Amino acid sequence: MLEIDCSKGEGGGQSVRTSVAMSTVTGNEIHLIRIRENRPTNGLSKQHCTAVQAVADMTCSQVIGNTLGSRELTVIPGNEHRYNMKMDIGTAGSVSLVLQAMQLATVGFKEKVNIDISGGTNVMWAPPIDYYQQVLYPLMARMNIQAELDIIGRGFYPEGGGRVKATFYPIDDIKPLKLTDLGKLRRVRGTCFSQRLPKWISEQMVEGCRSILEDYCNVEIVTQRTTGDSRGAGLSLVAEYDNGLLGSNVLTTRGRPADQAGIDAANDLVQIIDSGATLDVHTADQLLPYMAMADGDSAFSVSRISRHLLSQMDTLETFLDVRFGVERKGDLYHFTITPGGRK
């Protein structure tokens, strides 16, 4: 049984989600200790418990210690698969992060998986569900990993109440992803969403965003206004290049001018564009497990190395024979991922 100290690196829920999923993929029993020890609230949250139980149910695995606040967790992988899943996080916990763990656990499945999940679709400290459609899934498709989702309803903090239907298709061989040069910037697309808020909020967000980005390239932003149990607004952007995609997003908060939220999202994207990186650091974090299992070497560059990325590398080396190479050139960090590279 592998023992994994979840206080290392970023010390949050990322190591839990990745470890549980990789346990079921590789068949290794695991014992997680010191879960989220570096966070103000230690142990598993409702969102983490949902992700762990979803992976366990989907793979018919046994989990011990999957309770709210638990600082230890044991996973004994199963040998059967379930292909239709329905769950409710019960709070505004991130739908995106639960889906992240579930999708990784489907590596090796022979049939498509249909998931109906409720919770928070656009919440702080988690990727917006729009980002999966705009950035992550298109890049994963280049790795021969097919996924799609429909946003049935949006859920914001604290009520949640969003709903998403996702489909993960069987993965054959995972192709490597080499992003060494993005090529020419073609356009920026975006979705500005608001729910149970005045129309002028989304209008000002778009106006603020355009004031920054229109000097760079063509900007196309779609506005969505919806109704639901919760209230909120935000903006999700993607810069489309010849050879890749870069993402940025923002949520409005009380006391923050709407136009400034749009400006902030645009400036974040501009900063990534100007850096010359071929992936934003959040996308690198999510693609890394698949690169580590690919049939060949992958490569990308980022403008900074996050603690999440370091934690992912450390966790994946526990389960896989993979070598990560990092070289700093100027202001960029160039990564190479070599499956089987430690032999």
pLDDT of residue 339: 96
**Catalytic residue (one of 48, 81, 282, 308):** 308
Q: Which residues contact 299 (CB under 8 A, 6 or more apart)?
A: 177, 178, 179, 180, 334, 335, 336, 337
pLDDT of residue 8: 75
Run of H or E including 106 = none
173-182+276-343 CATH fold: Translation Initiation Factor IF3 (3.30.110)
Residue pair 261/190 in contact by the 8 Å Cβ criterion: no
Reported as a single tens digit per residue, the pLDDT across 201-258 is 999 999 999 999 998 899 999 999 999 999 999 999 999 999 999 999 999 988 889 9
Where does the chain hold its CATH 3.30.110 domain(s)? Answer: 1-80, 173-182+276-343
CATH number (3.30.70, 3.40.50, 2.60.40, 3.30.110) of 1-80 reads: 3.30.110
- Annotation marks residue 308 as catalytic: yes
pLDDT of residue 165: 98
Q: Using 70 as the pLDDT threshold, list the residues of the chain that sit under it.
A: 9-11, 341-343
pLDDT of residue 10: 67
Domain 185-275 is found in CATH 3.30.420.40: no
pLDDT of residue 9: 67
CATH number (3.65.10.20, 3.50.50.60, 3.40.50.1100, 3.90.1640.10) of 82-172 reads: 3.65.10.20
Run of H or E including 123 = none
Residue pair 259/207 in contact by the 8 Å Cβ criterion: yes
Where does the chain hold its CATH 3.30.360.20 domain(s)? Answer: 185-275
pLDDT of residue 128: 96
